[in-house]
Structure 1
């Protein structure tokens, strides 16, 4: 691992090695809270209709038992620490100092391309560890064609919390990520990849900084109403609109709650690991084409709980949201994606897009081409919203 940890000589930041560690006392408190947390009574909604109204009681009973008796956080902590792991203080556009934690695989090649992976919500750096393993298996430090940077976004996990005396937004978080890439010595250019929240971070960077040379996304916002005016929809576009309708009709309540009452929700979810598992686990199960391994769900929820992340992660929900429009289809899409249906600049820089079949709103290639200079496209016949960990085996066609 040591060779992958060799920081580029052009770096200007004071970069410190970091080791993930939760104290024994906090782990014991977590276990005790989990043990004492009651599971609500059996009712029609959680027993007789599958997941129509959310997770089932049986699933939660089983998950609690596994979490309490079989799950070993230290094993997951060790895996996080198996990669080169760092912290660095950066300045964002508000002048705040953010202590950013990040995993990295640094290359020894002089022509290595800097590439940042940005996670979404409710995700974390853990969802890129399989990708890091694949790169380590395929390339030695001398052969690796990329410098791979996987940061915890501001407010998430091991990165520092956000200021208490001012609001925070996605654009400010993106500026912190740009400061990180510049401070690592990548002023000649870098690429970005993201899904969910990470896709918005990526889009902001590619639009606002010359040094960000291109992006790859696995979540695509819809075009503006002007772009779709008089546009006849094909089967893929009709499917995307149908999926958007289904999602807003049955599953969108979480977004409104997180965007309008984040204080209350954050305090509730931070008080009980079982409550947090119910809230996050529902999304992990619903937004995929097949259930992820329970161990993987518990890994992510445990990281959120032990690092007090959930309350700090709602700032993007306040920032996103659709404006009124006469087209109900666009209104629905603007709400689900958080994209405000206005004319945004076309992205001239090279862009790639991977479309997974069961994405929440599976935006088709035709939409992506109206938004950006699409030079790479892959359409997969499987997978869902959480592409990095769960959908890597999905087959695709260029």
Structure 2
């Protein structure tokens, strides 16, 4: 018996030592990789490529013939299926509501297209060429006020969003506020392959590579140091910039903080199984249980698997198909704003947004023919060749704003393995995945509170 006890003690001691050793290895920060800041992503060979470094005003005006053709397409008789009785958006976009959207799009939105296009042009638009790609970006100088410090800010959107998400946030950021000693110079690019920015022509253009391009864009504009805010893919690209270029990124703020390194994933699983041990009473309301998390993943991430594996197939189905494109994009603005909206026959689309704002976003994808190229970011991000930056610690000031109805959340316990200087962590009981569009004032106030804590 004494031998067995000694044997078990030895085995347990070895197991604990192995666990401790692995924890030490996994908790260490890996060195940030050195990526080629001049890598060519344009078409053909880059051997004779000479970059045009000028920054030029860019006219986003849509071709009149394209608008006329869109009106023609939307005027054709709709051959839609009949929705199941008693169903809202549970099976996807309700066809009766889709008929309403098409009618409004054709008879109201496009009838005032000149006005809507002028609204899209309200901010200065520019273009420049970086690493073989023509990049579009909005650049708004702040309204200067005495005693205010000006900080450059890079705003990064995601999918199926666009720069249109930031239109109500930009005026808040660029106008002096008595509550803040800062005012911001805003740069909001269309991500490569989205909207008016050219898509990469080469395989391997993932979030780390986009981070390089975004940093080069800021240097091109003249900013060696700057702030970054991102949501959705913008959050991943922004955190990649913070990991790769801490000398350039002053601070990082996000409304969708993510950490997927091994220790964070283990903590996430333990938090889902035993929430009472990891979350306080207020926070528990924000996080799904283990079974709820699995159910949600099965129900809501079919699009992700499709776009991560065959983006060009679904892209071909949506290209030059305005009604299908609107259904595919707007369904996400329904469910991702509030999961309960799927029980409504109209998807709750205009509960938080105007239909004009939603159609502005759809139009950006349609007039630029960018739906297929925008979806490739999923395939590149999940490629086995993609660079893993999740174990590169981010030591600059970071802030995380969580909105209760968003797709997912990470607890501070998970984020600690990636963000080593998380100076602000906030929880908001309203809003979903698109806070810049839905609650711009709340997002702005969270951001300026973060910048104040960062003491830049």
Q: Which band: TM-score by shorter chain?
A: 0.7 to 0.9
| Paired residues of 1:259 and 1:317 also in contact (CA < 8 A) | yes
Contact 2:175–2:183 (CA under 8 A) maintained in structure 1 = no
1:58 aligns with 2:96: yes
Correspondent of 2:135 among 100, 104, 122: 100
Deviation at 1:177, TM superposition (A): 0.7
Unpaired segments ≥5 residues, structure 1 = 1-11, 92-96, 324-337
- Aligned partner of 1:363 in structure 2 is 410
Q: Distance in 2 between matches of 1:33 and 1:318?
A: 31
Name structure 2 gaps, 5 residues minimum: 1-51, 339-347, 450-456
Does structure 1 residue 73 correspond to structure 2 residue 73? Answer: no
| Separation (CA, whole Å) in 1 of partners of 2:238 and 2:186 | 15
Q: Aligned residue for 1:278?
A: 327
> Is the Cα contact below 8 Å between 2:168 and 2:440 reproduced in 1?
no
Distance 1:37 1:217, change over 3 A: farther
For the pair 1:376 / 2:393, whether they are aligned, the reply is: no
Match status 1:123 vs 2:171: no
Bigger drift between 314-323 and 366-375 goes to: 314-323
Pair 1:223–1:166, CA change in 2 (3 A):
closer
Measure the CA separation in 2 of the matches of 1:321 and 1:32: 39
Partner residue of 1:251?
A: 300
Q: Report if the CA contact (8 A) 1:90-1:98 is conserved.
A: yes
Q: Secondary structure at the match of 2:362?
A: helix
Cα drift, residue 134 of structure 1: 2.5
Hey, what does 1:215 align to over in structure 2? 252
TM-score, L = length of structure 2: 0.72
Cα gap change, 1:127/1:282 in structure 2, threshold over 3 Å: closer, same or farther? same
- CA deviations 1:110-136 (Å, max 9, x no partner) are 952111000010011111011122345
* Residues 201-255 of structure 1: CA deviation (Å, up to 9, x unaligned): 1011000012122210111224534243576533546853435323212111111
Q: Report what 1:94 is aligned to.
A: none
CA RMSD of aligned residues (A): 2.9
Equivalent residue number for residue 396 of structure 2: 349
How many pairs are equivalent? 361
Q: Residues 144, 350 of structure 1: CA spacing in aligned structure 2 closer, same or farther, 3 A cutoff?
A: closer
Larger radius of gyration: 2
The structure 2 residue matched to 1:204, chosen from 230, 240, 252, is: 240
Distance 2:233 2:77 in 1: 31
Going from structure 1 to structure 2, the CA distance change for 1:62 and 1:294 (only over 3 Å counts) comes to same
Contact 1:244-1:360 within 8 A present in 2 as well: no
Q: Work out the CA distance in 2 between the residues paired with 1:79 and 1:144.
A: 27
Under a length normalisation based on structure 1, what TM-score does the superposition of the two structures give?
Answer: 0.82
1:319 aligns with 2:393: no
SS in 1 for 2:160: coil
